[in-house]
Each structure stands twice: as structure tokens, then as C-alpha cells.
């Protein structure tokens, strides 16, 4: 069973949080193991397919130090469901008071999504110090995050959406970015071919990316 983490601890476990979507439980377990073997200890398993909760339940048993999160939280009732399945944290594409309250009631640390200053103000008012910037590239990328640093100097971000191995270092070099989310660690071709060694290689490569200000 995975241990309990705060969001602050989770974002320090590695520079890249893979955003995962699976078509079967077997696929989910194999990919999760391959990522873990490559040094990735944080997984965001989304609820974009019907097997998401079942994969979370199985993946959370892989190791004691793995942090398996639930992604694409959009409904309050999903928080309790994911927590019961063993999710260590939750990630949402946006912020709402209902999701915030449901996550706290379920004991599920939440990384809420923001895109605008108004989103940020709502999240900060609810007590959040770390948020997800989504969709990162489409919403202005590193330029927008740089602009946010002025009015929100203490807020930390996990940008997700459209980030690639080539652009990840630029995001990670920003003083207000603690990690990035990405789907490039699990290319469709490698998953379809069951090339778990390739996924482990990509995970090892991602785990070696440097972050700003000595975050470790």
C-alpha cells in the first residue's frame, strides 16, 4: 500500500508526473510498473476510461513508496471513490468549491487546475499553495507562468498540457514551477507494442531532468 503524501511532498518526488489513460487493467499495471522501474514514483491515472479506478487500486500496490493519483477529477463524488481505491492524491482540470470540499472530506490532497488569475485567486482563497496550470501550452506556456510570478510570487505550479521532452526543461527552469505533467512517457506505439523497456527508458530520462532552485 502506498504511503500518505502531501501535495508538497508529491511534487518533489520527481520532475515529471506522467498523465496516464488506459484501455485495460492489465495495460495499466504493466505501464505503471515500467514507469516505476525507470524511477518515476508519481503517477496520475486519469478517469478518462472506465478502468481508471481499477488501475489505481492495482497500481497503488506496486511499491510502498509509489504515489498513485487520480486525474481528471470533475465530479465531487469521484474524490471518495478514488480515495477508497487507494489514490494518494487528486488532480483536476479546473477548480470549484464543490471539488475542493469533496477532496478535503475524502482526505485526498488535491492539485487543482487553474488557467486565469481569477482561477488562481479562488484556489489561493481556499488555501492552495501549489496548483496545476492547464492547459499549459495553449494557455500561454512559460510566458504566462512568468507573468504569474509577479502578482503571485509564492504560488507554485505544475504545468500540464502540450508539454514535450523538448519544452519541459524550459518550464522546469522557471522559479515558480516545481514539476510538469506530461503524456510523452507512454507513447501509443510503445504501449501498443508492449514495449515496456522503452517506457522504462523514457521514465529514466524524464527522472533525470533538472529543476529550478534545487527542488529534490
Please identify every residue annotated as catalytic.
44, 132
Query: Edge-to-edge strands of the sheet including 130-133?
Result: 113-114, 130-133, 156-159
Cβ-proximal residues to 74 (8 Å cutoff; 6+ apart), any chain: 47, 92, 93, 94, 99
CB atoms near residue 64 (< 10 Å): 8
Alpha helices in 64-195 (DSSP H): 77-85, 97-106, 117-125, 141-148, 168-172, 188-192
The total of other beta-carbon atoms located within 10 Å of residue 3's CB is 11
SS3 19: strand
Amino acid at each position: 500500500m502506498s504511503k500518505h503524501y502531501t501535495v508538497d511532498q508529491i511534487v518533489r518526488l520527481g520532475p515529471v508526473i506522467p498523465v496516464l489513460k488506459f484501455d485495460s487493467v492489465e495495460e495499466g499495471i504493466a505501464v505503471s510498473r515500467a514507469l516505476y522501474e525507470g524511477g518515476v514514483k508519481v503517477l496520475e491515472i486519469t478517469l478518462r476510461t472506465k478502468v481508471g479506478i481499477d488501475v489505481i487500486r492495482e497500481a497503488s500496490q506496486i511499491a510502498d513508496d509509489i504515489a498513485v493519483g487520480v486525474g481528471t477529477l470533475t465530479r465531487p463524488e469521484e474524490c471518495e471513490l478514488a480515495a477508497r481505491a487507494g489514490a494518494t492524491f487528486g488532480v483536476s482540470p479546473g477548480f470549484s468549491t464543490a471539488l475542493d470540499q469533496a477532496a478535503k472530506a475524502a482526505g485526498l490532497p488535491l492539485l487543482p487546475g487553474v488557467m486565469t488569475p481569477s482561477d488562481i485567486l479562488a484556489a489561493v482563497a481556499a488555501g492552495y499553495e501549489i496548483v496545476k496550470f492547464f492547459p499549459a501550452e495553449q494557455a500561454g506556456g512559460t510566458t504566462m507562468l512568468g507573468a504569474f510570478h509577479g502578482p503571485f510570487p509564492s504560488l507554485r505550479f505544475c504545468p500540464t498540457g502540450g508539454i514535450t521532452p523538448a519544452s519541459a526543461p524550459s518550464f522546469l527552469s522557471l522559479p515558480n514551477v516545481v514539476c510538469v505533467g506530461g503524456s510523452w512517457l507512454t507513447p501509443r506505439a510503445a504501449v501498443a507494442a508492449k514495449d515496456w523497456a522503452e517506457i522504462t527508458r523514457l521514465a529514466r530520462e524524464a527522472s533525470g531532468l533538472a529543476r529550478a532552485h534545487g527542488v529534490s
